[in-house]
Amino acid sequence: MADQIPMTAILFVFYLTFAGQIFLLSIHYPNQLANRISYVLKNYPPTEYPKLYPSGFTILTAGAKTSRLTLFKRYNQLVALLGGAILVAMLASGYRPADKGGDEIFVMLYFFLQTVPFIVIAFSEFRNYKLMHQAFQTTTRSADLRPRKLFDFVAPAYVVAAVLLFIAWATFYMSSAGDVATWTTEKYATLSIISGMNLAYIIIIWRAISGAKLDPYQAYGDQIKTIESITKTMVFSSIMISVFMILTQAADEYALEVFDPPLVSFYMQLCVVMGIGLTLRLTKIEDVDFSVYRAGTETPSSDKAPAT
Amino acid sequence: MQITINIDSEVPLFTQLIAGIKCVVEQGGVAPGDPLPSIRQLANDLNLNNKTVAKAYRLLERDSIIQTKGYRGTFVHPDAAKNVGIDLNEWVLSKLRDVVDRCRDRGATDSEIRIAFTSAMQQLPTKGA
């Protein structure tokens, strides 16, 4: 079937999605994250907001934080340049994606290179929260008496879509995989991994809704926004993984593996948009209540729920 | 519609929780039939052990302030506003005072009363056993 599609069209789709991947993951989102960190360091200094910097933030560590931020920016610029160089090299050498697929591995490798700084930031954020918990010394604690439910954070239609798409993929996969008796370990592994991922999404959502806050000082309104962003990210991730699996299965069925690299690139971009993008959009830094991190704040306004 | 506890207070945490929820009911912060957070949610929000919240919920259910409807969750009891004024501990104390007074009037010593009370508690089957 791929023979009927002109190679120019296939290459156009691939270059477009790969350029999008370079822009989104190495330019757009790193810039947004760096601006966010700079905004916090500039507007909420450790002298006035010591609880935000639990490890005894000094001028020395402030300098270290700024230099780490510069390193983050430089790394992303370097990866973006590398991506651009790969694109130019492909164009110059007249690259043609393999008919039987397999080239998507290079797209994935480049993606992992792009995600390294995000993973480092996530780990350092967790470390910071851990230190915050150790330093948390308030004697009064408050809680809202309203129960939190799944549909307070995500529309039922999305949850239904996620469930139906998972069933649709599982049915499609099992029907195209042939008789169960002839299944290889790979078939069982794919089915188990995707089911396991969906189970993990459910556990993450359940823990976010009823679980403890990562940041002990976090304001109630901010906590709700965090739960909303986690819940939506997980539900959309489930939808996307099902759609992606259906599309790759269809590509295998109809001999369209030549589209695997742009498909993988597009899927990973969607994951980032729905993960980092959604979080940045739902928790705008200007709207975060930083007063809870001020020195001498005894009861965290964290738990001051809006009046009903 | 929020409750506050003080972890440095001498009052046990589950007692503070009971008092807090009763206070919200009394002030009309929650209406009969309103859903309440799960034990896990409340325990996590207050950074308490699940067992502490479970104990408070159990005692509130005994006093008909809240009611648990299986997997559907915990709700404010229809008669919560009426029952919130009843203090079971106070009622037990007044009944025991009355009995102790009558025993002393008949000449029983404090030691005899204590032994008799312990013996009565041991002889009576535990409720729910």
pLDDT digits (tens, 9 = 90+) for B31-75: 999 999 999 999 999 989 999 999 999 999 998 999 999 888 999
pLDDT of amino acid A301: 43
* B38 shares its domain with B74: yes
Residue B20 contacts residue B5 (beta carbons within 8 Å): yes
| Res. B79: pLDDT tops 50 | yes
Chain B closest CA to A292's CA: distance in Å? 16
Task: Please give the distance of CA B96 from its chain centroid, rounded to a whole number.
Answer: 18
* B97 shares its domain with B65: no
Residue A301 contacts residue A217 (beta carbons within 8 Å): no
This model of the complex carries an ipTM of 0.73
pLDDT of amino acid B115: 94
Contacts of A142 in chain B (CB under 8 A): 2-5, 46
* B112 shares its domain with B63: no
- Contact flag B1-A145 (C-beta cutoff 8 Å): yes
The SS3 call for residue B6 is strand
* B22 shares its domain with B76: yes
Residue A188 contacts residue A173 (beta carbons within 8 Å): no
pLDDT of amino acid A230: 92
Question: What residues pair up with B3 in beta bridges, in sequence order?
Answer: A143
Q: Is the pTM of this model over 0.90?
A: no
* B98 shares its domain with B53: no
Chain B closest CA to A119's CA: distance in Å? 27
Q: Which residue of A has its CA nearest to B6?
A: A140
Contacts of B44 in chain A (CB under 8 A): 210-213
Residue A62 CA to residue A55 CA, distance in Å, equals 11
Best to test chain A binding among B45, B49, B53 (most A CBs inside 10 Å): B45
- Measured between CB atoms, which of A142, A147, A304 is closest to B35? A147
The SS3 call for residue A305 is coil
Q: Which residue of B has its CA nearest to A133?
A: B47
- Contact flag B5-A141 (C-beta cutoff 8 Å): yes
**CATH number reported for the structural domain that contains residue B30 in this entry:** 1.10.10.10
Residue A64 CA to residue A66 CA, distance in Å, equals 5
Residue B104 CA to residue A175 CA, distance in Å, equals 85
* B52 shares its domain with B108: no
* B43 shares its domain with B93: no
* B51 shares its domain with B37: yes
Q: Is B111 in the A-facing interface, judged by CB distances under 8 Å?
A: no
* B71 shares its domain with B96: no
Give the pLDDT means over successive 10-residue stretches in chain A (308 positions). 71 90 94 90 85 68 74 93 92 79 83 92 87 83 90 95 94 78 79 92 92 82 90 93 88 79 88 88 87 72 41
Buried b (16+ CB within 10 A) or exposed e, A140-150: ebbbbbbbbee
Phi, psi of A142 (to 5 degrees): -125, 155
Whether residue B114 lies inside any domain: the answer is yes
* B28 shares its domain with B67: yes
Whether residue B8 lies inside any domain: the answer is no
Residues 6+ apart with CB under 8 A from A237: A201, A271, A274, A275
Contacts of A140 in chain B (CB under 8 A): 4-7
Whether residue B44 lies inside any domain: the answer is yes
| Domain residue ranges of chain A, discontinuous segments joined by + | 8-135+146-303
Residue-range definition of the domain harbouring residue B107: 88-123
Contacts of B37 in chain A (CB under 8 A): 143-148
Contacts of B24 in chain A (CB under 8 A): 145
Residues 6+ apart with CB under 8 A from A199: none
| Res. B123: pLDDT tops 50 | yes
* B44 shares its domain with B92: no
Chain B closest CA to A290's CA: distance in Å? 19
Whether residue B67 lies inside any domain: the answer is yes
Burial of A117 (0-12, 13-18, 19+ CB in 10 A): buried
Identify residue A130 by its one-letter amino acid code: K
pLDDT of amino acid A218: 85
Best to test chain B binding among A139, A140, A141, A220 (most B CBs inside 10 Å): A141
Q: Is A212 in the B-facing interface, judged by CB distances under 8 Å?
A: yes
- Measured between CB atoms, which of B29, B38, B46 is closest to A210? B38
Residue A255 CA to residue A249 CA, distance in Å, equals 10
Best to test chain B binding among A145, A148, A152, A213 (most B CBs inside 10 Å): A145
- Give the pLDDT confidence of B8-33 residue by residue, as tens digits: 999 999 999 999 999 999 888 899 99
Whether residue B7 lies inside any domain: the answer is no
* B74 shares its domain with B92: no
Domain total of chain B: 2
| Res. B129: pLDDT tops 60 | no
pLDDT of amino acid A306: 40
Chain A closest CA to B119's CA: distance in Å? 42
- Contact flag B1-A148 (C-beta cutoff 8 Å): no
